[in-house]
Amino acid sequence: MTGDFNHGKNGAATAIAMIGMTCYIVCMTSKGWYYTSISNSGLWGGCLRNQCAGIGWNGEPSFVAARSLFIVSGIFQGFKLFLAFAFCIVKHKSSVIMGIGLADLLAGLTMLGGIIAYTVFAAPTVINGGGVFGYGFYFAWFGWLFFFIAGIFNISASNNLKSYEVV
C-alpha cells in the first residue's frame, strides 16, 4: 500500500513539474513582463509604440542577472530530463527520483532568484506609477512555486522508496 502511495507522489510531482515547465516556457517567451502606457517588455525583447526589438546583454545588471538565473533554471530542467532517461535503465530508482527532486528544487530556487532580480530592476518604476507587472512576471511566480513543490514531492517519494528497494 505504501508503494502505491509513492507512485502517487511521484505522479503528482510529475504533473506539478509539467505545470511549472509550462509556466517557465510562457514567462521565458513572453514580452508581457512589464507594461507602461506606451511599451511592454519581457526578458528577451520589448516593444515601444509597436516597434519591437531584442534586448541585449549590456543592460541593467539586475535585469541581466534575472535572465542568467532563468537560463540556469533551464539547465537544471535539462539535467532533470537526462535523469528521466536514467530512470528507465537503473535498478535503484530512489536515487534517480532524489536527483529529479533536487533538480526541481534548484530550478525553482534559481527562478525565484531571477524573479527577485527582475523585481529589483522594475519595482522603482512600478512603485512610482510608471508601469505594471504583466502576465509573464506572474507566470514566473507560479512556475518557481510549482517546481519547488514538485521537488519536495519527489524527494519525499525517494526517501519512502529507499526502504522498499532490494540491495
Q: What is the pLDDT of residues 37-63, one digit of tens each?
A: 898 988 888 899 989 998 888 877 888
Burial (CB < 10 A; 0-12, 13-18, 19+), residue 89, is exposed
Residue 52 is assigned to a structural domain of this protein: no
Residue 51 is assigned to a structural domain of this protein: no
Residue 167 is assigned to a structural domain of this protein: no
Lowest-pLDDT range of 7-11, 36-40, 100-104, 132-136: 7-11
Contact between residue 149 and residue 16 where contact means Cβ atoms under 8 Å apart:
yes
Q: What is the pLDDT of residues 58-97, one digit of tens each?
A: 877 888 899 999 999 999 999 998 998 888 888 778 889 9
Instruction: Domain count for the chain, please give it.
Output: 1
- Give the C-alpha separation, 60 to 31, whole Å: 17
Give me the CATH number covering residue 115.
1.20.140.150
Residue 53 is assigned to a structural domain of this protein: no
Residue 30 is assigned to a structural domain of this protein: yes
Give the up-direction half-sphere exposure of residue 90: CA atoms within 13 A in the CB hemisphere: 15
Range of the domain at 11: 2-46+58-162
Residue 26 is assigned to a structural domain of this protein: yes
